[in-house]
Amino acid sequence: AQSVTQLGSHVSVSEGALVLLRCNYSSSVPPYLFWYVQYPNQGLQLLLKYTTGATLVKGINGFEAEFKKSETSFHLTKPSAHMSDAAEYFCAVLSGGYNKLIFGAGTRLAVHP
């Protein structure tokens, strides 16, 4: 069965520091991978996705993620954190013969001055 593991339910960084949110997946077939973000009191929205092709994917707000098949990972990074990046981030994998999108438990990112 396909699954997603997000390491660290809470991550705290200083403004201007590197953001690294970890995601590992389990999939018996080449996966489609996604990162969604949920800002406080807002609905979820897509940050970026990997389907095929280039393994380094760029998304909105300066975020990017790299698909590493050998490590079954799809970690999310941003070179310099901004206060407005404080939110909950969800990694997701399209699974089961590409029928349903399975989400990880989420990582809450806090950014402090």
Partner 1 sequence: GAGVSQSPSNKVTEKGKDVELRCDPISGHTALYWYRQSLGQGLEFLIYFQGNSAPDKSGLPSDRFSAERTGGSVSTLTIQRTQQEDSAVYLCASSLGREEKLFFGSGTQLSVL
Q: Name the site residues for partner 1 (rule: CB under 8 A).
A: 6, 9, 32, 36, 43-46, 49, 51, 90, 92, 94, 96, 98-106
Distance CA 3, CA 110 (A): 25
CB of 100 to partner 1, least distance (A): 5
In whole angstroms, the minimum distance from the beta carbon of 90 to partner 1 comes to 6
Q: How far apart are CA 67 and CA 33, in angstroms?
A: 8
Nearer CB in complex with partner 1: 40/43 = 43
**Number of residues written out for the chain:** 113
Q: At residue 71, what is the residue type?
A: E
